[in-house]
Amino acid sequence: MRTIPSGLDRKEAELYSQLDPHQFPKHVAIIMDGNGRWAKRRHLPRIAGHRRGVDSVRKVVTTASNIGLSALTLYAFSAENFTRRPPTEIHFLMKLLHRYLKNELPLMHRNNIRLSFIGRSHMLPQEVQERMAWAKEQTAHHTGMVMTLALNYGSRSEIVDACKSMVNAAANNGGLEHLKIDEESLNRHMYTSNLPDLDLIIRTSGEMRLSNFLLWQAAYAEIYVTKTLWPDFNGVHLLEAIKEYQSRERRYGGLNEPSPGSSN
């Protein structure tokens, strides 16, 4: 009989029993969309959706850790959010993030989760940067799932930063004639160079776009879109996405053809 991880509720355990634990994605990323619409449907201010969205983060992170995912990356705050949202909303989101990093630390410790960040964090408020550095240091010794928050993140900016990093590395190592440009070299300079290849992207709220999120990493990732708004998303929805992922055949650009001599 298959062992069900402790910590799963009844519905999660039922779904987990239908999955192949040897075919789990190593790296799952989530575009957490729909906080504003969730609040609007309930005639609440947008900040109520963001506040409720933190509860969903807690549920999903806990389930992801319980089932043994290696890496979970959450699109928390895009570079576009930073420039196009009202200042009052940005201020609230920064306060919410500052509070989250402190309040959720016990959960990180209980679940052996290591916290990481990607994005141009140097543009965030100083007190938020300090809290991020503190939270990262507090969890640096953990050996379980790597939870990465994408903050002030944009994939095009990441690729630009990776190219600049390659040029700077070459300039500091004998000159630009030593610059080597290929996929492997570029990948080493991406924000996510310490993470497994991306296997699955989940987008909530039904939108059919990547919104400048992990464009390089998503080259062969499976994409799963649900109409569920992020504040309603939980561990069961995560397992449903993994179930759909396991039903797909990943070809990486190849053909799904039987091998010579196959009876299929």
Residue 90: name the closest of 39, 124, 127 by CA: 124
Question: What average pLDDT is seen over the chain?
Answer: 92
Alpha helices in 29-154 (DSSP H): 35-41, 46-66, 79-84, 87-103, 105-110, 126-139
What's the rounded mean pLDDT across residues 24-50? 96
Instruction: Specify whether 234 is catalytic.
Output: no
| pLDDT tens for each residue of 232-251 | 999 999 999 999 999 998 77
User: Could you give the angle at which helices 87-103 and 46-66 cross, rounded to 10 degrees?
Assistant: 30
Q: Is residue 45's pLDDT more than 60?
A: yes
Per-residue pLDDT at 258: 47
| pLDDT tens for each residue of 175-232 | 777 788 899 999 999 999 999 999 999 999 999 999 999 999 999 999 999 999 999 9
CB–CB of 208/232 below 8 Å? no
Domains contained in the chain, CATH given = 26-154+198-246 (3.40.1180.10)
User: Quick one: pLDDT band at residue 264, thresholds 50, 70, 90?
Assistant: very low
Per-residue pLDDT at 260: 42
Instruction: Select which of 9, 20, 33, 152 is catalytic.
Output: 33
Q: What is the Cα 188 distance to its own chain's centre?
A: 19
Per-residue pLDDT at 113: 98
Instruction: Select which of 9, 35, 81, 112 is catalytic.
Output: 81
Of the chain, the percentage scoring pLDDT greater than 90 comes to 83
Strand order in the sheet with 114-118: 114-118, 146-153, 71-78, 27-31, 200-203, 222-225
Q: What b/e string do you get for 115-153 counting C-beta neighbours within 10 Å, with b at 16 or more?
A: bbbbbbeeebeeebeebbeebeebbeebeebbbbbbbbb
Question: How many whole angstroms separate alpha carbon 46 and alpha carbon 49?
Answer: 5
Which residue(s) pair with 230 in the sheet? none
Of the chain, the percentage scoring pLDDT greater than 70 comes to 95
Instruction: Specify whether 173 is catalytic.
Output: no
Question: How many whole angstroms separate alpha carbon 109 and alpha carbon 57?
Answer: 16
Per-residue pLDDT at 173: 79
CB burial of residue 187 (10 Å; 0-12, 13-18, 19+): middle
| pLDDT tens for each residue of 63-121 | 999 999 999 999 998 888 777 788 899 999 999 999 999 999 999 999 999 999 999 99
Residues 6+ apart with CB under 8 A from 175: none
Residue 75: name the closest of 220, 187, 191 by CA: 191
CB–CB of 93/125 below 8 Å? no
Question: If you count them, how many residues does the chain have?
Answer: 264
